Amino acid sequence: MDIKDLKLLIKTVTESDITEFEMDNSDEKIVIKRGHKPEYIQMGAPMMQPYAAPQFAAPTQAAPAAPAAAAPSAAAEAGDTLNSPIVGSFYRAPAPDAAPYVEVGQIVEQGQVLCIVEAMKLMNEIEAECKCKIIKICKENAQAVEFGDPLFVIQKL
């Protein structure tokens, strides 16, 4: 995407009611989030450039810092967090080739499975404690989580 199109995209998103925009194709990923903080843009293709040369790596490394800094305040405003009851590995789907249990924006019923946290071959299916909306998924698939780490930001309905 060239800079002209990107500017147009930001303008369109800013003028709409959209608070979060995400686009992901094979060679680039664009995330635009809006809130009380100024909008920021994250651009890059981290999955495609694990061995990028330092001069290219620098901007992509700098970009994730913005969402990380903005996340806590967004979480506090948006709703409650659902925390991990155990140390383990976070899985979004029942199997590597299966669809994720939930996506951002989805409304889930009480008792619905949201993810699996595995610790030492003990599979812990984390369920929604009440009907709620998934605001944010805080961890990447297969990422290690500590006891008490937020897994989801949810909004109770």
Q: Closest CB to another protein among 44 and 88?
A: 88
Which span (26-34, 58-66, 80-88, 149-157) binds another protein, by CB under 8 A?
A: 80-88
> What are the strands of the beta sheet with 150-156, ordered from one edge?
80-83, 150-156, 132-137, 107-108
The letter for the amino acid at 138 is: C
Residues 129-148 that bind another protein (CB under 8 A): 144, 147
Helix spans in 2-132 (H): 3-15, 54-78
Q: Which of 86, 100, 131, 133 binds another protein (CB under 8 A)?
A: 86
Least gap, CB of 95 to another protein (angstroms)? 2
Residues 11-40 that bind another protein (CB under 8 A): none
Q: Closest CB to another protein among 31 and 102?
A: 102
By CB under 8 A, tell whether 79 contacts another protein: no
- Written as six digits, the tokens of 9 are 């995209």
Question: Shortest CA distance to 131 belongs to which of 64, 79, 67?
Answer: 79
Q: Do the beta carbons of residue 114 and residue 103 sit within 8 Å?
A: no
153 has which bridge partners? 81, 136
91 has which bridge partners? 116
Residues 95-134, mask of contacts with another protein (x by CB under 8 A) = xxxx-------------------xxxxxxxx---------
